[in-house]
Amino acid sequence: MSIRFTTLVFSTLFASLFASVVCAGTSPVYTVEEIPMPPSKHQSMQIDGMDFMSDGRLAVCLPSGEVFLYEPATTNWQLFAEGLHNPLGLIAVSTNELVISQRPELTRVRDTDGDGKADDFEVVTDQFGMSGNYHEFHFTPVSDRAGGYYFALGTGSSGDGIRAIVRGKFEPRARPGRMHASTPYRGCIVHYSADGTTRPFAYGLRTPNGLGADLDGNLFVTDNQGDWVGSSKLFHVQDGHFYGHAASLVWKPGFKGEPLKTPANDLAKMRSRACVIFPHGTMANSPTKVIAIPPEAKVGPFTGQLLVGEMNKGRIIRVMLERVGGELQGACVPFFDGGELRTGCNRMAWAPDGSLYVGHSKHTWAGNEGLQRVHWNGEMPFEIQDMKLTEDGFRLRFTKPVDKAIAAKPATWPFNRYYYEYHVSYGSKPYDNGEVPVRSVTISEDGLEVTIALKELKAWYLHEVVVNGLKAADGTPLANDRIAYTLNRLLKDTPPEPLQTGK
């Protein structure tokens, strides 16, 4: 225990030292505080799932399989359940009932006798497979608002093989490859319906660590860079769609081929594009949970947007979407970035007081431990509030009036555009990288909107800008200056989707 604690203190210290010297992105209007960790019997210090109950208690699950309840008012932790298998997400259904994604099942965990400890572990569904490969994670249940649930199943990794006995129908066509899907619905978003049926809902995911819904009930999931995933992505999850990772196609009705023998060009024609691509390295390497910013959240004027956690940096990304040509697309910008916020931002939940709780984990990858709370002091940060596509560029809305002299300079807006290739090998470089000259800058009279006309807008390319030296009219520097818009469709005359494939 003491060793673990020292590590935590050390890393906190390290992070804060870091913060004082690196110009971190978190606006000073937000503070990060430590929440004491639950008294895990196994000294488990990572948070893999969290949700608030209606009575204000926070439920968390740990890698050790323990589930604890936290009362913020008293800072009291209470053990609720134990013995689960790698739980990676939970939903607080009521004050005595949780629905938990664990390796083998979606499980309803209830305290039926009122003693504060769970005594009933009921299978909601186990109608999906497990090859026993370590990488076959079961991530983050999301309510379908009709008594059912969506959840995300990771693929297996070539970092190891499979077990001698596998659960569910073994499918040899999806066994080869870097990431495999040899048992049912690996690499899929699965829907369990209240009528008791379980079926694959969407296909083509690799490591979908983080389902979430927006305020309108649209479902989203992140995926991690790797084979078939040129850079990490956010998908708008829709029934029957295929998002690019080939292995899970064997679970798509009507697909007869072998995923790895199917030409990339054919796969590219089947796939649905990400609504947001996270530039690798600079934005996110391993995005995690998606949560919407509800009206009750106290973080600033961002209601309806999404937050996405990131493992490799102490970062939570803000995502703003719009519907263009019938599909969602939009931009991502770091929001809480560095400073006291540790890496491994794996799970998030809104507290009843509107603050954001962040659970950290790492397993064996980059990341960290512990539980933190991000709290807003109510003052307006200087941030890009929103980014919208125009016919010939973008309109950026700011939370405060901009310094018009700086904003008016084209050099403030050094746009770049590029795309990531769709191919079987691990990750992609940016291709066809080029600067996009600014034609004109128009600033609204109130100084809140800057409309930038570009010399060229290229559909199916990321458009990224690191805003150069912008300040608010009151002198506040822009907290987060890097924003990337995934430009799939133009407002009009979108050219046909290019394949952008490679080997």
Partner 1 sequence: MIDIYRVVSFVVFVGFMGCVGPAGFTAEPPTKAELEHGKKLYAAAGSCIACHMPDGKGQPNSIPPLAGSEWLNDTDRSIAISLRGLAGPVKVNGERFYSAMPPQLLFNDAELASILTYVNFAWGNDKQAGEIVTEAEVAKARAALPPEVYTPKTLLKAFPFKEKDIARRNGTYSFDVDDTELEFDTPVVYRTFMPGASPAAFAVALPGNQFYCWDAGESRLRYVWTKGGFIKGNKRHWSSNGKTVARFNGEPYYRARSSLVQAEDEELLTKTDNKLPIYDTTEAPDFPFELKGVDATSSRPRFLGYRLVDGYPVFRVGVGEHEIREQIRALTSEEGAGIERRFEVEPPVALTLKLTPDAKSKLNTSAGTIAADGSLALSAKQAAAFTVTILEREETPEPGPATEPAPAKTKGGAK
Query: CB count, 10 Å around CB of 449?
Result: 19
Of residues 22 and 491, the one with the C-beta less far from partner 1: 22
Of residues 159 and 240, the one with the C-beta less far from partner 1: 159
Least separation, in Å, of the C-beta of 398 and partner 1?
Answer: 27
Which one of residues 21, 73, 146, 411 is an interface residue with partner 1 (CB under 8 A)?
21
Burial of 352 (0-12, 13-18, 19+ CB in 10 A): middle
Of residues 85 and 439, the one with the C-beta less far from partner 1: 85
200 belongs to the binding site for partner 1 (CB under 8 A) = no
Output the six-digit token pair for 239: 């029934």
300 belongs to the binding site for partner 1 (CB under 8 A) = no
Return d(Cα 348, Cα 48) in angstroms, integer: 10
Least separation, in Å, of the C-beta of 278 and partner 1?
Answer: 11
Phi-psi region of 247 (alpha: psi -120 to 50; beta: other; left: phi over 0): alpha
Query: CB count, 10 Å around CB of 116?
Result: 11
Which one of residues 33, 55, 160, 239 is an interface residue with partner 1 (CB under 8 A)?
160
Least separation, in Å, of the C-beta of 68 and partner 1?
Answer: 15
Applying the rule CB under 8 A, the residues between 306 and 365 that interact with partner 1 are: 312-313, 343, 362-365
Applying the rule CB under 8 A, the residues between 22 and 81 that interact with partner 1 are: 22, 42, 44, 63-65
Q: Helix or strand or coil: residue 102?
A: strand
Of residues 137 and 485, the one with the C-beta less far from partner 1: 137
- In 3D space, the residue among 385, 488, 380, 486 whose CA is nearest the CA of residue 444 turns out to be 385
Stretch that binds partner 1, among 24-32, 298-306, 326-334, 428-436 (CB under 8 A): 428-436
Applying the rule CB under 8 A, the residues between 435 and 494 that interact with partner 1 are: none
Return d(Cα 347, Cα 200) in angstroms, integer: 24
Q: Which helix (H) or strand (E) holds 314?
A: none
Return d(Cα 200, Cα 190) in angstroms, integer: 4
Q: With CB under 8 A as the rule, give the number of residues binding partner 1.
A: 76
Residue 70 CB contacts under 8 Å (≥ 6 apart), including other chains: 35, 38, 57, 58, 59, 60, 76, 77, 78
Applying the rule CB under 8 A, the residues between 223 and 242 that interact with partner 1 are: 225-226, 231
Applying the rule CB under 8 A, the residues between 374 and 403 that interact with partner 1 are: none
Which one of residues 29, 67, 91, 105 is an interface residue with partner 1 (CB under 8 A)?
105
Q: Between the CA of residue 369 and those of 48, 61, 96, 345, what are the distances in Å?
A: 10, 13, 27, 9
Q: Helix or strand or coil: residue 120?
A: strand
Return d(Cα 483, Cα 495) in angstroms, integer: 24
Least separation, in Å, of the C-beta of 100 and partner 1?
Answer: 11
434 belongs to the binding site for partner 1 (CB under 8 A) = no
Return d(Cα 41, Cα 79) in angstroms, integer: 10
Which one of residues 34, 126, 258, 392 is an interface residue with partner 1 (CB under 8 A)?
126
Which one of residues 168, 257, 304, 447 is an interface residue with partner 1 (CB under 8 A)?
168
Q: Between the CA of residue 35 and those of 193, 370, 377, what are the distances in Å?
A: 36, 8, 18
Backbone phi and psi for residue 358, each to the nearest 5 degrees, phi listed first: -125, 120
Stretch that binds partner 1, among 84-92, 213-221, 320-328, 345-353 (CB under 8 A): 84-92
Stretch that binds partner 1, among 198-206, 247-255, 407-415, 424-432 (CB under 8 A): 424-432
Which one of residues 74, 164, 295, 446 is an interface residue with partner 1 (CB under 8 A)?
164
Which one of residues 33, 169, 474, 491 is an interface residue with partner 1 (CB under 8 A)?
169
Which one of residues 114, 172, 254, 475 is an interface residue with partner 1 (CB under 8 A)?
172
Of residues 248 and 272, the one with the C-beta less far from partner 1: 248
Query: CB count, 10 Å around CB of 405?
Result: 11
